[in-house]
Amino acid sequence: MSTFVDGPVRVSVPATSANLGPGFDSLGLALSLRDELTAEVVESGLVVEVAGAGAEDVPRDESHLVVRSMHAAFDLMGARPPGLRLSCANLVPHARGLGSSSAAIVGGVVLARGLVAGGRLLADDDALFRLAARIEGHPDNVAPALFGGFTISGRDDDGEFYSVSSPVDPRVEAVLFVPPTPVATAVARRLLPAQVPHADAAADAGRAALLVAALAGRPEHLLRATRDYLHQDYRRPAMPESLVLVDALRADGVPAIVSGAGPTVLAFVDGSAAAALLRRCPDGWAAHHLTIDPRGAVVD
């Protein structure tokens, strides 16, 4: 029977951007914007407190995504706490293509492991990654949320998830333009065709390979490397203003993409050019200058 640590455990989890243009469902980056979660095992019941992004919309019961993820991790470790108290301070915007659900899932599984005495012996990082990917359904956001930095992830023919980390040149930073209106990932995915031309698939594979090299040390190739053929234009009806901004930035030589399923626009930038780029934020949108965060989920 598992025992639990005394007192609260605190975890911070980064926002993430997936796809990055051509790396559909495979490439992901951790960004320097973090949700903070605190949990404690109590004698009975469940208390969920939420502040910040999504506070008006998320449930406060067992259906809360962090709580569900915690219980999945407890089951993995053979642990069953009598009660839980959870507090979430959310900075990652919801339904904006910045990995809010992956932050919740990864935060939940890491919190649960931290609450179990000897939890790392029962579930290492790879086990938590596979669990988080199963909960999310795909690994491209949960991988950087857990491991940090830049990750290349996917699913083998046998259904097993994998993730490999790749370096990022320290000159590469990001400016994010976050619109006020959300787009649900399910809505964005429904716009994708069941098949694409072979030429587009081949072109996309080449750009994704180039993107790995560009991020690792050849950022002068980022504009070419972020050209997407598989998903962004198909999703234009759900986020026309985002794609207009992407088009305008790219026309001016800025490597801009839709972040994840959108509608946030991410532009890669050298830090010295960030201030000028921030001035291009559309009225009513929020803009952030962020770095690539080498840390994934961190237990404080």
Annotation: binding site: 93-103
Q: Which residues are annotated as a binding site for ATP?
A: 93-103
Q: Enter the tokens of residue 37.
A: 């979660």
Cα distance between residue 143 and residue 126, in whole Å:
10
Q: Give, in order, the Cα–Cα distances in Å from 279 to each of 138, 143, 175, 178, 267.
A: 35, 32, 11, 13, 13
Cα distance between residue 80 and residue 255, in whole Å:
47
H-run or E-run covering 212: helix 198-217
Q: Which amino acid is at 121?
A: L
How many other C-beta atoms can be found within 10 angstroms of the C-beta atom of residue 5?
Answer: 14
Cα distance between residue 17 and residue 66, in whole Å:
20
Q: Which residue matches tokens 């455990």?
A: 9
Q: Enter the tokens of residue 287.
A: 């803009």
Which distant-in-sequence residues (6+ apart) come within 8 Å of 103 by Cβ? Answer: 13, 14, 15, 16, 35, 92, 145
